[in-house]
């Protein structure tokens, strides 16, 4: 067997092992899971997620997912908790402890302290006979038959199962809270993701130069306007309204068609009924129209008045594409 084939076989086996484990998680969903979701949903506090080792890393990811989907959460390392960080847990908080075995020393030390504070405890573990499972108010079963690691030692399948169970928890809370795209934009104002959800055409168009000429403008004036405004287009305006558009493409077609362009005006070479978009529309909609129509810019309007141009390069620069 070639080295390449051996590598691919190992990778395939790893993915299949973890995929099977994830599929099996559905059989562990029961009233306990639903009760855990409702416990968090009705809580007046936050969700504190804790673990050690690789489970701590998964706990951090779950915290990030909960926070970004409208459920306030804080990560607390189990080892640090018993050495001063226990104050992270407030009166109404719900605590999730994650541990594959449910019997680690840190978890055994932490659980009684959580119970002493009368906080609800959700245990996420792969062992239903473990200390954590027996002490928890609610149990999220993440049992896996085997790790993807051939030695059965490195947490692989088990941590994948923990992460997926955390996602299931977060999405249940998201849907029950009615968390929608507007809420998502509120929690994700930065980066391409946020911009797709809140950036509007007017945010771009009003920052661009505003190319425009009268319908009676000579061709030289049209070319200068397109060149100076650097958007590859100019609107043609008559009586304050858009009556056409002239693009770089229109200029090239004109030069191919006419030997003498001295007497031509914007009206002679413009494209009538240009594609426009309302300035209040999301910028991602402008991209969809450009892709559908095979064009690179749109004229933006507000209350039927011309306000500027949105160019596909703007969308690229904003990271929307």
Evaluate whether residue 194 is within a structural domain.
no
**Do 36 and 173 share a structural domain?**
yes
Q: According to the model, what pLDDT value does residue 183 have?
A: 66
Evaluate whether residue 184 is within a structural domain.
no
Q: According to the model, what pLDDT value does residue 95 have?
A: 97
**Do 309 and 174 share a structural domain?**
no
What are the tens digits of pLDDT across the range 212-250?
999 899 989 999 999 998 888 999 998 888 999 998 888
CATH number of the domain that residue 222 is part of: 3.10.580.10
Among 128, 144, 179, identify where a domain stops.
179
What are the tens digits of pLDDT across the range 157-193?
999 999 999 999 999 999 999 877 666 666 655 555 5
- The total domain count for the chain is 2
**What torsion do the CA atoms of 177, 183, 187, 189 make, to the nearest 10 degrees?**
170
Q: Is 268 annotated as a binding residue?
A: yes
Evaluate whether residue 187 is within a structural domain.
no
CATH number of the domain that residue 168 is part of: 3.40.50.10490
Q: Is 23 annotated as a binding residue?
A: no
| Domain residue limits at 246 | 201-317
Q: Are strands 233-238 and 212-214 parallel, antiparallel or unpaired?
A: parallel
Q: According to the model, what pLDDT value does residue 39 have?
A: 97
**Do 151 and 70 share a structural domain?**
yes
Average pLDDT over residues 250-271: 87
Average pLDDT over residues 13-21: 95
**Do 157 and 18 share a structural domain?**
yes
Average pLDDT over residues 18-36: 96
Contact indicator for 34, 42 with CB cutoff of 8 Å: no
**Do 167 and 108 share a structural domain?**
yes
Average pLDDT over residues 122-138: 96
B/e letters for 44-81, b = 16+ CB within 10 Å, e = fewer, are ebbbbbbbbbbbbbbbebbbebbbbbbbebbbbbbbbb
Residue 50's H or E segment, with its range, is strand 47-51
Across the chain, mean pLDDT equals 89
**Do 163 and 21 share a structural domain?**
yes
Q: Is 311 annotated as a binding residue?
A: no
**Do 229 and 115 share a structural domain?**
no
Evaluate whether residue 206 is within a structural domain.
yes
Q: Percent of the chain scored above 70 by pLDDT?
A: 94
Q: Is 83 annotated as a binding residue?
A: yes
Average pLDDT over residues 191-205: 72
């Amino acid at each position: 067997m070639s080295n390449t084939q051996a590598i691919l076989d190992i990778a395939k086996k790893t993915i299949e092992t973890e995929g099977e484990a994830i599929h099996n998680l559905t059989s562990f969903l029961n009233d306990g899971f639903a009760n855990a979701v409702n416990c968090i949903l009705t809580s007046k506090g936050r969700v504190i997620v804790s673990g050690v080792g690789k489970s701590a890393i998964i706990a951090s990811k779950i915290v990030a997912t909960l926070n970004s989907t409208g459920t306030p959460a804080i990560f607390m390392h189990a080892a640090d908790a018993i050495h001063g960080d226990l104050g992270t847990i407030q009166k109404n908080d719900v605590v999730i402890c994650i541990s594959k075995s449910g019997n680690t020393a840190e978890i055994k030390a932490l659980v009684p302290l959580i119970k002493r504070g009368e906080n609800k405890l959700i245990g996420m573990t792969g062992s239903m006979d473990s200390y954590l499972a027996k002490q928890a108010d609610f149990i999220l079963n993440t049992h896996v038959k085997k790790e993807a690691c051939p030695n059965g030692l490195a947490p692989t399948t088990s941590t994948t199962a923990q992460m997926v169970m955390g996602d299931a928890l977060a999405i249940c809370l998201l849907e029950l809270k009615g968390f929608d795209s507007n809420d998502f934009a509120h929690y994700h104002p930065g980066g391409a993701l946020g911009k797709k959800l809140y950036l509007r055409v007017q945010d771009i168009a009003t920052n661009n130069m505003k190319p425009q000429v009268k319908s009676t403008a000579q061709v030289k004036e049209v070319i200068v306007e397109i060149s100076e405004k650097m958007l590859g287009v100019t609107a043609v305006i008559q009586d304050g309204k858009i009556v056409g558009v002239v693009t770089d493409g229109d200029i090239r077609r004109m030069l191919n068609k006419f030997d003498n362009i001295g007497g031509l005006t914007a009206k002679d070479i413009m494209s009538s009924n240009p594609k426009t978009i309302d300035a209040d529309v999301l910028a991602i909609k402008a991209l969809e129209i450009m892709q559908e129509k095979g064009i690179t810019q749109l004229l933006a309007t507000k209350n039927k008045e011309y306000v500027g141009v949105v160019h596909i390069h703007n969308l690229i620069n904003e990271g929307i594409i």
